[in-house]
Structure 1
Amino acid sequence: MKTVPMGTAPESTTVEQRFFRYGPYTLLGLAVLMAALSSGLTGMSAADKYTAGVLTGAACGLQLWWGRVRPATTPQTPAAVVYYVLRTAIGFALCWCNPFFSIYAIIGYFDVAELLPKRFVRAGMLCTAVTMAGSQSGSGMPPASLPNWVAFGALFVLHSSLALLFGNIGAREAERTRRQTETISALELANTRLEQALSENAALHAQLLLQAREAGVADERRRLAAEIHDTLAQGLTGIITQLQAVTSTADPALAREHLDRAAGLARHSLGEARRSVRDMVPAALEDDDLPGALKKTVTGWAERSGVRAEFTVTGTVEPLHDEVGATLLRIAEEALANAARHAGATRAGVTLSYMGDEITLDVRDDGCGFDPAAPHPHSGTGGFGLGGMRARAGRIAGTVEVESEPGLGTAVSARVPLVRRA
């Protein structure tokens, strides 16, 4: 197995590489054969034959040396330059002995770009052109007569032009090949990066799907928690209040009235619970628009809590999207429930205002008030009420603001986009 020095690539086995390895021997053998057959025609003297034999041996020795050195030598190194120069000089000298040795000298055209640095390629071609023109001028080297010199000049111009032409074509082809190689490398790199990006995007997509699924689950849990708080919790609170009123009165008629209210609240809470699970609109909005549902809600709350309450509508009433109406109705119910449970209010007011592209709901009471900056106001409810209001409004791009001070009552203001019913 051939040893390849570190940092060099294994020797190619392409047709071109095989030609550069064995071609010089073949061409030299053909040249020797043709020179021997034509020695009488070309007038080779004994000295020329002896000289040609010595030069042929030198050419073989040079080729053997290069065959051993070449695998460990990169192109255009000093060793390659020495090999090309010596081979060209031997070819020129052989053509001086017999023109048919140009068969061997012509190889200088083929590997000049591989062996010589770029700035010396044309000079190498011109040297080979001198040898080829001299061997083809009719009398060998040097030309013997004026016509031979004219023929030499014409042939030299022809060989030089062809050599430079094909050299330029080869250089352009090599440059185009280099650019194609660079383009292919760039495309492979781009494809690799694209595959990496697609892989990363796929992983990110899967992660986003998982996060969206988790967010959807969490959002549904918050919705159900808010619905349970706004329906079951408030209904049970009202039922407990009515049952407590039954135990504290001796009047059978009044006790019956409280029991009827408790039963009505139980039925209403059961229906609302079923609607919450099915994500349906509140029952109050099935037969009435939002102002009508709010008016009934405020009236019913006033009767149950014994607090005087007023309801006002401003602006032009418009049909609202079910989600907008349900959100404002639930916020009103929660704000009134907080006023009854915690504020100790004697008066309350609810105002619904239609204002172009927005609709606002204001719930005010004259109760004890609280500090909105304090953590978890109304700790009896776990702090869910105010947070639930803001969460409901936030789901439809709305806001809820609370203004309150201890002893000065509370005002809850919800502002949401006015989305009309399709």
Structure 2
Amino acid sequence: MSDGVSTARRDPVEERWAAFHRWGPYGLLLVGTLAAAATADLLMSSADRWAALALVGSAVLLQLCWGRLRRTRPGPGAAAAVYYFLRWGLAFALTWLNPFFAFYAVCGYFGAQVLLPRRLVKVGLFASAVTMAGSQSGGLPPKGSMGWVLFGAVLVINVVLITVFSHLAAQEDERTRVQGETIAELETTNARLQQALDENAALHAQLLLQAREAGVADERRRLAAEIHDTIAQGLAGIIAQLQVVTSSTDPALAREHLASAQALARHSLGEARRSVQNLSPLDLEHDVLHEALKKTVTEWGARHEVRADFTVTGTAVQLHEEIEATLLRIAQEALANAGRHAGASRVGVTLSFMGDEVSLDVRDDGRGFDPLDLPARSGTGGFGLDGMRARAERIAGAVTVESEPGHGTAVSARVPLVPHDH
């Protein structure tokens, strides 16, 4: 019965990843092609355009052939490795012609573990990192000595991030292995008890299966949310700093932004280590919530050159660690969304202590959006608004979003007020 339930209830996360590996390369190739077409007049000659068109056609043909072949040869193997490196070669050549084809090259990061034998995974990831670093540093080949320096710095950052992600994956595999061994031991014990308690055997098996699914799914959600809220946002900040370096002719300004990028990389690496150990955010190590929020808002405003105000209402008290961590992550995600999408000139963050409840409000005067379009926006594979809601719900709270095109956005989180000593 246990095996039957497991087969019938395939993990929805695994189903989404399977769909991504099947259709993702087509979508990313389309995005890269559209971006390259939009910038072709600036970045590509006539010969480059014809070459890119031929390479795009080859990439589509390769994907179609692999779609047929993968049905008979699933999992890592020689055929999958040949497909992986052929796709990498096409992505590298396309990115050489136009850096925006890196949208297609990013497939290499997601496909290495699925397609390559273990001994070739690091090789595949490094090859993809070279392509991505070339795009992120201004295109291939690097131009001049400063271009090579920038390319090297971005490549190092990409390799560091790959190492962090691999470490997180190894931790997840180890947790899953330990959980599997524990479940196996429990199933053996239940098999002995079944002789005396035959009427309860089905119930025990069902409970064990649900516990395993819930544990694995919860850990995956936690790691996914932590990666999105720390490493992904840190990487976005690093790229923004390096883009300034790429376009700047002032060596002093370039050094300043390179230093900022290094600081963000170190901070993201620290957050990644803390995420693996399931510790509180680094910002809360020495500060209580309202102090950490004030620093976060100030640093965000300086980094994005946007007026950012922070206000506390009511009597501030130190909250339970999980509540403080949840509100800080929600604020960081809301600010990250404002920086990426809002185009705001002013952002206000308010932390309100109200009796038995704490409220966090993040408002901006940016371009806003249609809330009815929210499912489509959140269905792109990210964890943004859905992640904020999930975090709040885990501590019996809620997140609401109010927005209108042209009239800004307001994100409000309300959670129970549980003091630190409870």
Instruction: Name the TM-score class by shorter chain.
Output: 0.5 to 0.7
| CA distance in 1: counterparts of 2:411 and 2:201, whole angstroms | 46
Residues 297/223 of structure 1: CA separation in 2 closer, same or farther (3 Å cut) = same
Hey, what does 2:103 align to over in structure 1?
none
Hey, what does 1:288 align to over in structure 2?
287
| SS of corresponding position for 2:285 | helix
Matched, 1:217 2:216: yes
Q: In the alignment, is the contact (CA less than 8 A) between 1:367 and 1:407 conserved in 2?
A: yes
Hey, what does 2:319 align to over in structure 1?
320
| CA distance in 1: counterparts of 2:379 and 2:269, whole angstroms | 23
Q: Which residue identity is paired with 1:228? A: I
Hey, what does 1:267 align to over in structure 2?
266
Residues 200/407 of structure 1: CA separation in 2 closer, same or farther (3 Å cut) = farther
RMSD: 1.9
Report the Cα offset of residue 252 of structure 1: 1.8
Residues 208/314 of structure 1: CA separation in 2 closer, same or farther (3 Å cut) = same
Residues 375/202 of structure 1: CA separation in 2 closer, same or farther (3 Å cut) = same
**How many residues in Structure 1 have an aligned counterpart in Structure 2?**
228
Q: In the alignment, is the contact (CA less than 8 A) between 1:377 and 1:383 conserved in 2?
A: no
| CA distance in 1: counterparts of 2:378 and 2:204, whole angstroms | 41
| SS of corresponding position for 1:303 | helix
| CA distance in 1: counterparts of 2:377 and 2:343, whole angstroms | 13
Report the Cα offset of residue 381 of structure 1: 5.8
| CA distance in 2: counterparts of 1:374 and 1:367, whole angstroms | 17
| CA distance in 2: counterparts of 1:337 and 1:380, whole angstroms | 18
Residues 367/378 of structure 1: CA separation in 2 closer, same or farther (3 Å cut) = farther
Matched, 1:250 2:249: yes
Hey, what does 1:90 align to over in structure 2?
none
Residues 341/404 of structure 1: CA separation in 2 closer, same or farther (3 Å cut) = same
Matched, 1:374 2:373: yes
| CA distance in 2: counterparts of 1:197 and 1:369, whole angstroms | 63
| SS of corresponding position for 1:287 | coil
| SS of corresponding position for 1:316 | coil
| CA distance in 1: counterparts of 2:279 and 2:208, whole angstroms | 26
Q: In the alignment, is the contact (CA less than 8 A) between 1:402 and 1:413 conserved in 2?
A: yes
| SS of corresponding position for 1:367 | coil
Q: Which structure has the larger Rg?
A: 1
Hey, what does 1:355 align to over in structure 2?
354
| SS of corresponding position for 1:359 | strand
Report the Cα offset of residue 246 of structure 1: 0.8
Hey, what does 2:420 align to over in structure 1?
421
Residues 206/220 of structure 1: CA separation in 2 closer, same or farther (3 Å cut) = same
Superposition map of 1:178-257 within 5 A: 199-257=198-256
TM-score, L = length of structure 1? 0.52
Q: Which residue identity is paired with 2:324? A: G
Unaligned runs of 5+ in 2: 1-193
Q: In the alignment, is the contact (CA less than 8 A) between 1:370 and 1:377 conserved in 2?
A: no
Cα deviation 1:141-184 (Å, max 9, x = unaligned): xxxxxxxxxxxxxxxxxxxxxxxxxxxxxxxxxxxxxxxxxxxx
| CA distance in 2: counterparts of 1:293 and 1:410, whole angstroms | 23
| CA distance in 1: counterparts of 2:208 and 2:384, whole angstroms | 31
Residues 300/381 of structure 1: CA separation in 2 closer, same or farther (3 Å cut) = farther
Q: Which residue identity is paired with 2:389? A: R
Which runs of at least 4 in structure 1 moved beyond 4 Å after TM superposition? 195-198, 377-381
Matched, 1:309 2:317: no
Q: Which residue identity is paired with 1:371? A: D
Q: In the alignment, is the contact (CA less than 8 A) between 1:360 and 1:414 conserved in 2?
A: yes
Report the Cα offset of residue 197 of structure 1: 12
Unaligned runs of 5+ in 1: 1-194
Residues 347/378 of structure 1: CA separation in 2 closer, same or farther (3 Å cut) = farther
| CA distance in 2: counterparts of 1:196 and 1:371, whole angstroms | 60
Report the Cα offset of residue 255 of structure 1: 1.4
Superposition map of 1:84-163 within 5 A: none
